[in-house]
Structure 1
Amino acid sequence: MVAPPPAATILPDADAVARAAAERLLAVAAGTGRAAICLSGGSTPRRLYALLAGPEFRGRVPWERLHWFFGDERVGDGPEAGSNRRMVEAAFGADSPVPAGHLHPIPTDRGPEAGAAAYEAELRAWYGADGLDPARPLFDCVLLGLGEDGHTASLFPGKPAVAETGRWVVGVPEAGLAPFVPRVSLTLPALGSARSLLFLVTGRGKRDPLARLAAGEELPAGRVQPQGDVAWLLDQEAVG
């Protein structure tokens, strides 16, 4: 069995991970003011988003107060590129409960650098400042995954974007894994500016990166340092 990260909860399967994530997200979003959630791509988050919009959770989510941002996006129109925005919109459904203007996608109608600059400007406007204050996180909750090479968002091992400390959003001209399309990604400082950080990790393919993290290897997923709490939700397949 792979040694799980600290603050990890091991659940039976991906559906259980999605359900536990929904409950945690609701707890983080409790309150009276607006809240910002940073979304992740992938199959397990897709289950989470569909669950939130489904009959069990739909009435419990304070949709009118929540704003949904993205941790990364693929730039390109081809079907091989995929799209986190399209995935999220499909998961929320044709009768999406997200109010108009509350979903904040990363621009993909321009190159990765221009898209990154535009999204950083939007995040700064939302935040109301040009510098991140540790006492006032950018996001209430950041959802992240773990790639088979240890990447998270579109921050790949050995790529320059991982070392970026000044910018909030960067263009990633070359991905470290397929599909090898340009990306736009939030940086480690932006992803870490969170009251709560939640990793959703499922499947046998995640055992190797989990083992590498446990061995102390400095992978991008292990370098996100939130200002609040961090939790890992793993399924049994991921740890063996």
Structure 2
Amino acid sequence: MIAHHEVLPDPDAVARAAAERLVAVARAKPGRIGICLSGGSTPKLLYRLLAGPEFREALPWERLHWFFGDERVGDGPEAGSNRRLAQDAFGDLVPPGHLHPIPTDGTPQADAEAYAAKLQAWYGADRLDPGRPLFDLVLLGLGEDGHTASLFPGKPEAREDRAWVVAVPEAGLAPFVPRVSLTLPALAATPLILFLVTGAGKRAPLARLAAGEDLPSGHAKAWGETVWLLDEAAAG
């Protein structure tokens, strides 16, 4: 596993660097391509960039399949926010059946089980083979408490090492709504993880990671390469 970081001027530059990486991944692989998406403000910039005139024609949309690292679930207005983020940005560029959102209309446990079944159907097996990734690229963010996806410090879901998807009945950070999250083993099953980290609010968790603190984001490492794309405000 290789991990390194790049410091870029601002969130727009981080989004552009991620877009260029995603295009390179898509062009390098024949056949279908699985991308695992993240929520948040910087991914929003990335998704709009991908759907914009500069990158739209560079992507083989007919071969791209979009999955999600986590989602807010339940009957509140926050449910499905990551799905809506991608839908609003990509619009009709995504062919029918190529966006694979996490279900949000059952209990967190039922939604987690349903998404695990969907991922296993995509993969063609119920166990991960180190020679065959689940995703071609995983996008992740860093929470101000050190969480990533919906794996929060001190919560049992961050220590799950067998299941691919877990219910998160109690979030560790606002909004305190139930979540469904991919686990560290599922997120790791890729040749490339890109962490998109922007803003001065991320300096503290980055410092805690650098000091060796045991945080979920520090354990999210790809089978291949893990790249942290930081803007100058986050890097300090």
Q: Same fold (TM over 0.5)?
A: yes
State the identity %.
72
1:93-131 CA distance string (max 9 Å, x none):
4xx311110000000010110000000000000000110
1:220 to 206, 209, 216: 216
Q: Which amino acid aligns with 2:6?
A: T
The corresponding residue for 1:63 is 61
| Cα offset, 1:157, TM superposition | 0.2
Instruction: Please tell me whether the aligned partners of residues 137 and 194 of structure 1 are also in contact (alpha carbons under 8 angstroms).
Output: yes
Once superposed, what is the RMSD of the aligned Cα atoms?
A: 1.3
Does the residue aligned with 1:194 lie in a helix, a strand or coil?
Answer: coil
Give the C-alpha shift of residue 91 in structure 1: 1.7
User: Whole-Å Cα distance in 2 between the matches of residues 79 and 118 of structure 1?
Assistant: 21
Partners of 1:224 and 1:178 lie apart in 2 by 21
1:60-117 Cα distance to aligned partner (Å, 9 max, x none): 0110111000000001343355611011111224xx3111100000000101100000
1:26 to 2:23 alignment: yes
- Paired position in structure 1 for 2:207: 211
Q: Deviations over 1:40-62 (max 9, x none)?
A: 00000011011101111000011
Mapping of 1:1-240 within 5 angstroms? 7-30=4-27, 31-80=29-78, 83-93=81-91, 96-240=92-236
Verify the 8 A CA contact 2:34 2:65 in the aligned structure 1.
yes
Secondary structure of 1:143 counterpart: strand
TM-score by length of 2: 0.96
Q: C-alpha distance in 1, partners of 2:13/2:170?
A: 34
| Offset at residue 212 of structure 1 (A) | 0.4
Q: Return structure 1 stretches of 4+ with deviation > 6 angstroms.
A: none
Three-state SS of the structure 2 residue aligned to 1:7 is strand
SS in structure 2 of the partner of residue 198 of structure 1: strand
Contact 1:81–1:179 (CA<8 Å) still a contact in 2?
A: no
Deviation at 1:225, TM superposition (A): 2.4
> How far, CA to CA, are the matches of 1:197 and 1:52 in structure 2?
18
C-alpha separation in 1, matches of 2:4 and 2:52 = 28
Q: How many residues align?
A: 234
SS at match of 1:9: strand
State the one-letter code of the partner of 1:14: P
SS, match of residue 231 in structure 1: strand
Which secondary structure does the structure 2 equivalent of 1:26 belong to? helix
- Distance (Å, rounded) in 2 between the aligned partners of 1:51 and 1:100: 21
Aligned-partner Cα distance in 2 for 1:37–1:137: 11
Query: C-alpha distance in 2, partners of 1:128/1:168?
Result: 14
Is there any run of 5+ residues in structure 1 with no aligned partner, and where? Answer: none
Distance 1:7 1:115 in 2: 34
- Using the size of structure 1 for normalisation, the TM-score is 0.95
**8 Å contact kept, 2:65–2:98:** yes
- On the 8 A contact 1:191/1:224 being kept in 2, the answer is yes
